[in-house]
């Protein structure tokens, strides 16, 4: 495992990693256990991955823990998950502070039971001064919920005369998202062999590198995280440009752009 870690180029780390932690239920059922047993063990993976990201010096880690759609699961599973959440936060705040990790939450907090909301708010306050890893929990979150809320507030500001519709830019829109304080994820990992986004950060993932693994979340450990980061570091991120441009930018970032005429004189066009 240390060999894998040593291969990581610390100068090319993704500034923000987002993870869809999937497969807890199947992991448990494959062992003849209740789905909640899988969620319970998923917490061990959360601990390991948070620690792994903090050790490497990753700036932001967003974990998709509960989606807006997950409220439609059987009541016993939803209640079990909420209790696990509260218990985990209560137990982990000390470790977060010890490791200088700041907790953030994105999602519809109004949907959470009051006891869970109170526990979360307390943890947010207790870790607010930390300056290391930013751990963002996506809870009762969905991207369509977030975008709808953003449009609502934006429309209100226009109606109040605070915002000129003609002046709206991508930066303006970004300011209305619940992720306004975080850079876009550069690497998105989904565990458990599912190849979909499931309403997660649809806007913010525009240029993220996507990494899918069959490993169920309760089995996902630092070693798997290192593999994902190494895979990310082997990719060429082009952002719409050509490969040659990217290579040129690497050699001389200020390189003089050539005009179309240089390749195809106007007379020949
Ligand atoms: C992910 O595991 C955790 C949550 C969605 C809360 P699942 O519970 O979705 O597990 P599978 O996908 O059914 O195996
Ligand atoms: C996505 O997993 C949400 C979380 C991991 C919290 P789901 O298990 O809910 O997604 P689908 O239903 O398989 O798309
Ligand atoms: Mg699932």
Q: Which of 22, 24, 134, 224 is catalytic?
A: 22
**Residue 70 among the catalytic residues:** yes
Burial class (CB in 10 A: 0-12, 13-18, 19+), 210: middle
CATH number at residue 50: 3.40.1180.10
Same domain, 186 and 264: no
Q: Which of 34, 48, 70, 231 is catalytic?
A: 70
Same domain, 129 and 69: yes
Range of the domain at 60: 11-145+176-235
Ligand in closest contact with the CA of 200 = 2
**Residue 22 among the catalytic residues:** yes
Ligand in closest contact with the CA of 78 = 1
Is position 5 within any domain?
no
The rounded distance, in Å, linking the Cα atoms of 249 and 68 is: 41
Same domain, 252 and 217: no
Same domain, 231 and 247: no
Same domain, 184 and 257: no
Contact (Cβ atoms closer than 8 angstroms) between residue 57 and residue 132: no
Q: Which residues are in the CB-under-5-Å shell of ion ligand 3?
A: 22
Same domain, 266 and 184: no
pLDDT truncated to tens, each residue of the chain (269 aa)? 789 999 999 999 999 999 999 999 999 999 999 999 999 999 999 999 999 999 999 999 999 999 999 999 999 999 999 999 999 999 999 999 999 999 999 999 999 999 999 999 999 999 999 999 999 999 999 999 999 999 999 999 999 999 999 999 999 999 999 999 999 999 999 999 999 999 999 999 999 999 999 999 999 999 999 999 999 999 999 999 999 999 998 887 765 555 666 666 656 55
The rounded distance, in Å, linking the Cα atoms of 91 and 202 is: 32
Is position 151 within any domain?
no
Q: Which of 127, 129, 147 is nearest to 137 (CA)?
A: 127
Same domain, 79 and 188: yes
**Phi, psi values for residue 199, rounded to 5°:** 65, 35
The Å distance, Cα 216 to ligand 1 centre, comes to 9
DSSP E strands in the chain: the ranges are: 16-20, 60-67, 102-106, 134-141, 187-190, 209-212
Is position 150 within any domain?
no
With a Cβ cut-off of 6 Å, ligand 2 is lined by 20-22, 64-67, 70, 194, 196, 198
């Amino acid at each position: 495992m240390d060999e894998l870690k040593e291969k990581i180029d610390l100068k090319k780390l993704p500034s923000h990693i987002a993870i869809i932690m999937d497969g807890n239920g199947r992991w448990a059922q494959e062992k003849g256990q209740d789905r909640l047993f899988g969620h319970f063990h998923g917490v061990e993976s959360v601990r390991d991955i948070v620690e792994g990201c903090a050790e490497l010096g990753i700036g932001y880690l967003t974990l998709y823990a509960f989606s807006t759609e997950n409220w439609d699961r059987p009541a016993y599973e939803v209640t079990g998950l909420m209790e696990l959440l509260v218990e985990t936060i209560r137990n982990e705040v000390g470790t977060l502070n010890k490791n200088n990790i700041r907790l953030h939450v994105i999602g519809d907090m109004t949907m959470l039971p009051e006891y869970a909301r109170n526990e979360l708010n307390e943890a947010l306050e207790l870790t607010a001064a930390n300056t290391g890893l930013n751990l963002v929990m996506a809870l009762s979150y969905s991207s369509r919920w977030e975008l709808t809320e953003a449009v609502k507030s934006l429309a209100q500001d226009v109606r109040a005369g605070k915002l000129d519709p003609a002046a709206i830019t991508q930066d303006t829109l970004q300011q209305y998202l619940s992720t306004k304080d975080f850079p876009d994820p550069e690497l998105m990992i989904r565990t458990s062999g599912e190849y979909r986004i499931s309403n997660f950060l649809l806007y913010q993932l525009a240029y993220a590198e996507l990494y899918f693994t069959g490993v169920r979340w309760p089995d996902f450990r630092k070693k798997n995280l290192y593999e994902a980061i190494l895979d990310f570091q082997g990719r060429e991120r082009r952002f719409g440009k050509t490969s040659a441009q990217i290579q040129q930018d690497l050699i001389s970032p200020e390189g003089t752009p050539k005009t179309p005429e240089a390749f195809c004189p106007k007379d020949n066009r």
